[in-house]
Amino acid sequence: MTLLSTFEVLIPCQDLLFILQFVFGGLVWILIASSLVPFPQTQAWVMFVSVYCFIGTTVLLFRYMCGANCKRVLDAAYHCTAALFYFSASVLETWATLSMDDGFSYEHYLENVFATVFSYVATLLYMVHAVLSLVIWKKSVEETQWKTLMVISLRPPYSLTGRTENALDRGKK
């Protein structure tokens, strides 16, 4: 029986996070699109972030499904940016929901409350995915450095004079 490495365990977790990001990001998108807009500029930013992250996550997921070799740096950078965007959108959506006047119905208020809750859940999912991506990226960099170190250590040792002797130098003597 062999134990799975951290690298092998984190990859399926990221696949599950993609699905959850679709679900909660799509819910935010639908709820913002269907709600009565109390503050157009803040709601526009929330809508932009939800659409941007939905499209970005779709593109990354299709690249992974097609077997394209995605750079770990690209994955980590995208999810860090998405987490930052979603956090700012969640804060703005919270402010817009708390600032709703009496001119809106209770149903519109609830739509904004649920959009706020789902945007915070999406923020948490993107933050977790960003941390996992950074851990995997760090592991892959360490493995690459270890392989490079092994190749360097297999080179012939230097002499005390600072030069290596090769076949040509030995033939000239």
22-30 LR contacts (CB < 8 Å, sep 24+): 22/54, 22/57, 22/58, 22/61, 24/118, 24/121, 24/122, 24/125, 25/50, 25/53, 25/54, 25/57, 25/122, 26/54, 27/114, 27/115, 27/118, 28/89, 28/115, 28/118, 28/119, 28/122, 29/54
Q: Which two tokens stand for residue 132?
A: 């996992």
pLDDT in tens, the chain (173 residues): 454 555 454 466 777 888 888 889 888 988 888 887 778 888 899 999 999 999 998 888 888 777 766 677 888 889 999 999 999 999 999 998 888 877 778 888 888 899 999 999 999 999 998 998 888 888 877 776 666 655 555 555 555 555 555 555 555 55
What pTM, to 2 d.p., does this model score?
A: 0.73
